[in-house]
Each structure stands twice: as structure tokens, then as C-alpha cells.
Structure 1
């Protein structure tokens, strides 16, 4: 039976040690990162389970990476782009469509976890509250969770609901990384403005990973870099980071 621990003393207890951000990155190292990510995410990836209750979570047998974000931020589309499988995670234009936690097994090396969107949802308030409670309990207590990717729509930037989730993750010592989505939908100058605003917001947050990634599920921007980062977690290997 799964155990759920609400309080954790430090981020390091919830995730392996992070990479050395001061180490220089050679072209060879960066190529190795990208290739390792390509190989892992080319493996078979299949749906394992979907659950709306903690009691039905699958066994914690693999390291997990969760994808969190406001409704309609593009979580499912990003998972599909990472795995190269358009129909793996069900994307929808209807905010709040994902109503359960969905688990996808990537080559028996990494579990990808698609969380229900927070914020706006076309559902009764009591049901939305239940989803939010489920997600919070999962994020606080899943011992194999290595990182939560907090997705932010680059067209809109941070919202109050994002700040609330990051505060909860900080208090629970759950390592998380900001991933900007739909970066192809705005001008490069506007994207840099959003990146700067997000960087300033997370600068003093204890559980936030310092690297912010800009991605597009449509154009492929940043997909290889995100694969490389997640592969390092799956292999439990600290690889050097690229310069944002």
C-alpha cells in the first residue's frame, strides 16, 4: 500500500541531487544529453492507468515526472510531442476536460504523469475541489516523484493559480521546473519578457529548478532539451545544464 507523507524537510529528500550548474558544457556533452533524451523517448510508451482517487494509484515502481498547469495550458500536447505519439495523451480544446491523473510508462524507465488542469474548468465547484485535493495529495506524497514540470502558457505568463501551486510545492519540498508552452504563438521579444518575469518570480523559491524551458508542441521548440532534462532524472545521472 502507498504511503503518503505530507511534510518533507528538504527538496533533496524528494529528488536526486541536481546537476552542477557551474560546470561548463561542451558541445560533446550537449550532444550526449540530446541523444540520450532521443533514445529514451523513442522507446515504447503506453497508458498504464487513470485514477481519480489515491487508492487506485499504480504501484510506485519507476521514477515519475508530473506535468501540472492551468486548464488548457497544453499538458497533453506536450506529452504527445515528447513521445512522438500524437494520440497518447488526449488533448482537448475544452478547459477542464482531464478529470483524473493519467500514467504513461516510458520504456520501463520513466513514468509520465498527466495531472488534471487547475484553475478554470467546466465542472461543478465541488468536483473541481476534489480534483485539486487529489493533485495536491499526489504531489505532496508520491515518493518516486522526481520532478514536476509546471507548465505556463507563454502568451499569458504567471497567474495567481500558478503562484498558489508553486507555493504548495515549495512548502512540500517537491522539486519543480517551469516549462513555457505555446512559445511559437508569440514574438521572440515577448517570449523573453515572459521568461524574465518568470525568472524573477522563482528566484527565491526554494524548490524551483533555475532553468526555464521554452517549448512548442507544434514546432518542436525546446522538446529535445526537455527530453534531455527528464532523461537525466530517469537515469539518476546529474548532467550539466545548458545556458538558457
Structure 2
């Protein structure tokens, strides 16, 4: 495994920031409902079963801030969570498999795309990828959309505890190679586990850095 790209002081600052109050603000079902705010935001996107809600809960150190579900595809709105009055974490509707009609699926997926295209205070999108599978064909469409929209995005591997360290290292290397020529992709790939807390400190530090906030 590679060493953390952050020093101990930065990791501790990230821990302190996300030890503060985190609250659910609202869920927007339409573009017109998106809150008008100047606070920096980072958005979490990914397939419907990749573990977005669990990762957000791990970042803020709370069990049920974001609503996790055993039924993938439940997130039909753009959900906003405020951290200590300093920044927003945004949970976007999942893409890929969802237990809903094709019309409904398209509606809430388009909502996520509209948010990404028109949010001036969005500092970065985190595209979540299951570490057990790596980048798949279905992930190319959102990456293409982010590249075209010139939205800075970074790959975050989830469920890293489900595979062996040597396998994880290979997935990280392959993922970094997969985004190397993509114009809007950040070159650093983060690996995380919501269950064990692996990589969560680094993700917190990255969010803090990109949002330019301090605890």
C-alpha cells in the first residue's frame, strides 16, 4: 500500500473539522429547489450500490446522517448535508441499477447531471467505485460528462476492506491509469472502507483542502 499523501497535522485538522456538527439540510427533487448558497460543496456520485451513504456517514462520524438502504437506487434527490456551517456534502442520485421505472430513473439521474453542470461553488465531485470491481464500462459515461462539463473529479474506491492489500494496490494502479488522460480527473485515487475507517482520514483531509476551510 502507498503511504498517506498527507502529514499528521493535516490529517488531524481534517478529523477536527468533521468532528463538528453535521446536519441534513434538504433534499432537492428539482433543479429549482437547489439551495442558494456560497458555501463550498463537494458531491458524491457513483453506482447505486457503491455505498455513497455509508461513506458520507463515515466521513462525518455519524451512523445515520445519510440514509443508507439495502435497496440500491433509493436516492432520488440531491441531498445536502452541512458541516459546521462551513461546507456542504452533497449526495447525488446513483447511476446504474435502480429499482424504479426507466422514466423515474432517467429523471433523477438527469437531476444529478444538472446539478453538476450548474453549481459554481462545487469544488470537486467524488466518483465512487467499488474496489472489488474497479472501473467498469458503466462508469465511463459519468466520467465523460464530468470531463465535458469541466468539473474537477476524483475517484474514491469504496469497500477496500473486501479485497486483499495486494489486490487493492493493483486496482488503485489500474484506476490511476484509467483516468490519466482524462482532463478533469484528479490523478490521486483514494481507497476507503466505511466499515473499518481505512482511508477516511485522507478523504477528510482532501475535502478540507479542496474546500479551503479549517476546523
TM-score bucket of the superposed structures, by smaller chain: over 0.9
The partner residue of 1:65 within 39, 42, 50 is: 42
The partner residue of 2:192 within 207, 215, 228 is: 215
C-alpha separation in 2, matches of 1:210 and 1:131: 29
Answer yes or no: is 1:150 the counterpart of 2:127.
yes
Answer yes or no: is 1:186 the counterpart of 2:163.
yes
Consecutive unaligned residues in structure 2, runs of 5 or more: none
Task: Look up the match of 1:15.
Answer: none
Answer yes or no: is 1:41 the counterpart of 2:18.
yes
Tell me which stretches of 4 or more aligned residues in structure 1 moved more than 3 Å. Answer: none
Higher relative contact order (CA 8 A, sep 6+): 1
RMSD after superposition = 1.7
In the TM superposition, what is the alpha-carbon distance from 1:26 to its structure 2 partner?
11
Matched positions, count: 212
Answer yes or no: is 1:89 the counterpart of 2:69.
no
Deviations along 1:144-173, one digit per CA (max 9) or x if unpaired, are 000000000011111222111011101110
Consecutive unaligned residues in structure 1, runs of 5 or more: 1-24, 238-244
TM-score by length of 1: 0.84
In the TM superposition, what is the alpha-carbon distance from 1:233 to its structure 2 partner?
1.9
Task: Look up the match of 1:226.
Answer: 203
Deviations along 1:154-197, one digit per CA (max 9) or x if unpaired, are 11111222111011101110000000000000111221221121
Local SS of the residue matching 2:7: helix
In the TM superposition, what is the alpha-carbon distance from 1:33 to its structure 2 partner?
0.9
Larger Rg: 1
